[in-house]
Amino acid sequence: MSVNELISFVRETFNEPEAFIPLHDPRFIGNEKKYLNDCIDSNFVSSVGEYVGKFEKACADYTGAKYAVAAMNGTAALHIALMLSDVERDDEILTQPLTFIATANAIAYTGAHPVFIDVDKETMGLSPSALQTWLNENAEMRNANAYNKKTNRRLAAVVPMHTFGHPVKMNELMAVCEQWNIPCIEDAAESLGSYYHGQHTGILGKFGILSFNGNKIVTCGGGGMILTNDEALAKKAKHITTQAKVPHAWEFVHDHIGYNYRLTNISAALGCAQMESMPFFIEEKRKLAAKYKSFFENSEFTFFSEPADCQSNYWLNVILVKDLATRNEVLKTTNEKGVMTRPAWELMNRLPMFKECECAPIPNAEWLADRIVNIPSSVIVPGYRKNITGR
């Protein structure tokens, strides 16, 4: 299969013979304008307003989490989840190198140090077996806590990321975490609408977080959500993200160091409308993935399909090419011809601010990073882009 055949198929699929085709852009097809106008008319556009609570309930109901707490973005949500898991300065957090920078940045905000563990090829997410191997070789238990024997730092959390919406092997991962008494915090920023053994991602660990960035399936322009089944932690998350202000009609008293991390009502209004379209979005994204899978059968490019016993949202569709040189040629040709593609992120251990962090052998992450190409993945709504450009 040639790159030009790929470009032709994408253009035919998206019914865009000449125009630029983005990687993933939002779809506003429901009550977005109605709810935004209602929010503006109410004059409650900041973090106080009824749409914030409605959006939290919609996310809790959709994912099956007992509680959902809205935040200004997914990075802020992960930062708070780490803090409420008692992560402290100079602790170590076990995570994956194949992830978006926000995962590592949120860890750094707490003053903790990421330790990078390999991923599984079949999920692109944190490998339970690689995690177990590293712990067996490098960790020991002291007073019911796991410590790195070499650095004497406490191993305070495990943070898997459900890469491009494909669930990590959570049963095996949780078993390792329970054996070593390390809390698991799921970075489910990319996996709203993905299920692992019938359970939504983000509700299996102590916390899960979601993102509603502009390129996500559901977007508020920006936004995040903390998921938990612990009522006390949910209340504390809401308190801490609202500057830790003690409720009072007029006095300004704060009882902790807090953060201005709450989502605005106007953003939540957009999120409420978007959540109403989620069943349609997921249905159409899975249809698109099925088209891609069929197209790439018997091709030199391999379409990445959802892991066993999972239902992925296929946020960004992935093809795997034979090597780094092929990846670079595909990226160059497609982007030059107006079809947006992109590689995986630069591995976290290769970035200057994290290159000194401990890193286990990561052959799978390195193999994937050389071969991943994301291809256009927007929800297809006939006539939608024509209507947008015609305004």
Write the pLDDT tens digit of every residue in 105-131.
999 999 999 999 999 999 999 999 999
Reported confidence tier of residue 151, pLDDT bands at 50, 70, 90:
very high
pLDDT for the residue 390: 41
pLDDT for the residue 46: 85
Residue 388: exposed, middle, or buried by beta-carbon count in 10 A (0-12, 13-18, 19+)? exposed
Mean local confidence (pLDDT), 127-154? 97
Residue spans of the domains in the chain: they are 3-28+278-389, 32-276
pLDDT for the residue 391: 34
Place of tokens 């190198």: 97
**Which has the minimum average pLDDT: 148-157, 225-234, 249-258, 266-275?**
249-258
Q: How many CA atoms lie within 13 A of 255 on its CB side?
A: 5
Three-state SS at 78: helix
pLDDT for the residue 387: 56
Percent of residues, the chain, with pLDDT higher than 90: 94
pLDDT for the residue 47: 81
Residue 104: which H helix or E strand, with range? helix 101-109
Distances (CA, A) of 109 to 81, 97, 104, 106, 238: 12, 17, 9, 5, 19
Alpha helices in 296-323 (DSSP H): none
pLDDT for the residue 384: 78
Give Rg (Cα) of the chain: 21
Nearest-angstrom CA–CA distance, 35 and 264: 13
Helices (H) and strands (E) in the chain, counts: 13, 16
* Identical fold between 3-28+278-389 and 32-276: no
Find residue 99's DSSP bridge partners: none
Nearest-angstrom CA–CA distance, 260 and 248: 18
Find residue 222's DSSP bridge partners: none
pLDDT tens per residue, range 173-223: 999 999 999 999 999 999 999 999 999 999 999 999 999 999 999 999 999
pLDDT for the residue 27: 96
Q: Which fold has domain 32-276?
A: Aspartate Aminotransferase; domain 2 (3.40.640)
Class (C level, CATH) for 3-28+278-389: alpha beta
Place of tokens 């996996």: 191
pLDDT for the residue 383: 80
Task: Indicate if the pLDDT at residue 277 is higher than 70.
Answer: yes
pLDDT for the residue 389: 47
pLDDT tens per residue, range 325-345: 999 999 999 999 999 999 999
Task: Indicate if the pLDDT at residue 360 is higher than 50.
Answer: yes
Distances (CA, A) of 219 to 39, 79, 165, 281, 300: 17, 20, 15, 12, 34
Task: Indicate if the pLDDT at residue 39 is higher than 60.
Answer: yes
Sheet holding 195-196, edge to edge: 199-200, 195-196, 310-311
Task: Indicate if the pLDDT at residue 260 is higher than 50.
Answer: yes
